[in-house]
Structure 1
Amino acid sequence: MKLSKIFIASILILLAVSLIPILMLLNQWGAGSQSYGITTSDSQQIRFRWQDVNQQVHHYPASVGTYTYLFLAFLSCSEICPIRIKQLDQLEQRIEQDALLAKVDIQFIFVTIDPDNDSFAVRQAMIDGRSKRFVSASLVEEDLYSLEFLLSDNINRELTTISHVGNLFLLAPNGNIERIYTAKQLSIPKMLIDLNHIISAQL
């Protein structure tokens, strides 16, 4: 009887010890499968008409297979906007260093929420001149307000300076919102994991 209890206890200990690495692996897999950016169940596609620095009119989405990082901002902003632009600079550098992502059509669209002051020349110098992936867009007032409403970007123009959230949106080629990044400080490596996951899932 005593030997039987010892045998059963030994079996239980072995099972417990063997389960620990399995549980750790499952936990790691679960954590890795979570996205860094916020996902949304809203399947509404983002569509808008915009004007570039050469006053040419375009429609978004325009080309098949292009992933887009979209953010609404203004160039005299001294808070979140410069941070976002720097983050996208860093993200583009990492994309160019990645053998797979460097071949993917990825663009960064800056939509001005202050088109009266963000002139074509200023936009060219601060956004479009950075690289071929960066483009700045101005929208007519009605279209801009519609886009702000769709993105729930909470822009307030009633103050002495424009107040806005400064969220960054990752859009699929069809215009669906894949991720929303709300934090002021963003992790570029985690954003790359999100991007790789989304692109791989659509191949």
Structure 2
Amino acid sequence: MQKRQMLWAAGFILTAVFLVPLLMVISQQISKGSGEAQYGINGEKLMPLSFEWQDVTANLQTFPANRPQFTYLFAGFLSCSEICPIRIQQLHQLESTILKGSDFNNIDIAFMFITIDPENDTLAIRQQVIDERSPRFKSAMLEESELLSLSRHLSENIQSYSPSNNHVGNLYLINPNGFVARIYTARQLSTDKMLAELKHYIESSKGNNND
């Protein structure tokens, strides 16, 4: 009886030693094969974004654009000393990495900053700080009703035209159809992981267009 128990124990240990790593490898392969983005928060259950905005030339634009375009978007104010400078730098790093590689050639990618302090973020300041970075960078001003509607939509807790200028400062990846693909809430973000997710959504959109 004792010998049989020892054999059972040995068999169990050997099974654990060999089976668990095998299951881990299989799980990793399934995850890779599925191509699912895992870094940001999935925002696809939110209703798609749709709003009008004013650019730095005081012209009225619509979002999403009338062409296939992926957009990284965040709302804030340019005198912010906390999350906003971090987000602007992250967008700059994203664009720099995009320009260095070939994975995103011929892909329309935009970076949009929405001001929640239009009285101080004037057209000239927005032009200098945001739009002059590159043609991909856009700074937007929304009518207060549109801005507060967007805040409720994204749970950004924006208090426009208030002394505190409260906001959450999340970064959003928006699909060409206006749906929120990913929500990035952390202050420090991995450019490589974000672009891996962007590549996933680009490939998915190409597949849908071919169907």
TM over 0.5, shorter chain: yes
Contact persistence 2:131–2:137 (CA under 8 A): yes
* Alpha-carbon spacing, 1:47–1:35, altered in 2? closer, same or farther (3 Å): same
Mean CA deviation greater in 76-85 or 151-160: 151-160
1:25 aligns with 2:25: yes
1:185 aligns with 2:188: yes
Question: What do you get for the CA RMSD once the two structures are aligned?
Answer: 2.5
Q: Which amino acid aligns with 1:154?
A: N
Contact persistence 1:64–1:174 (CA under 8 A): no
1:1-203 equivalences in 2 (<5 Å) = 18-29=18-29, 33-156=36-159, 160-203=163-206
Deviations 1:163-190 (A, max 9, x none): 2110011100000000000011111111
Deviations 1:50-104 (A, max 9, x none): 0100011111112331001110011010110000000110011111122021321
* Alpha-carbon spacing, 1:75–1:97, altered in 2? closer, same or farther (3 Å): same
Contact persistence 1:67–1:172 (CA under 8 A): yes
Q: Which amino acid aligns with 1:199?
A: I
Distance 1:187 1:157 in 2: 30
SS of 2:145's partner is helix
* Alpha-carbon spacing, 1:60–1:158, altered in 2? closer, same or farther (3 Å): closer
Which structure 1 segments of 5+ residues have no match? 1-6
Matched positions, count: 200
Deviations 1:91-124 (A, max 9, x none): 1111112202132100011110001110111000
* Alpha-carbon spacing, 1:160–1:92, altered in 2? closer, same or farther (3 Å): same
Q: Which amino acid aligns with 1:191?
A: M
* Alpha-carbon spacing, 1:61–1:10, altered in 2? closer, same or farther (3 Å): same
Question: What is the aligned-residue identity percentage?
Answer: 48
Deviations 1:19-64 (A, max 9, x none): 3442221343466545100003524110000010001111111233
Contact persistence 2:148–2:160 (CA under 8 A): no
TM-score of the two chains, using structure 1 as the length reference: 0.87
Distance 1:189 1:56 in 2: 35
TM-score of the two chains, using structure 2 as the length reference: 0.84
Contact persistence 1:67–1:107 (CA under 8 A): yes
Q: Which amino acid aligns with 2:127?
A: Q
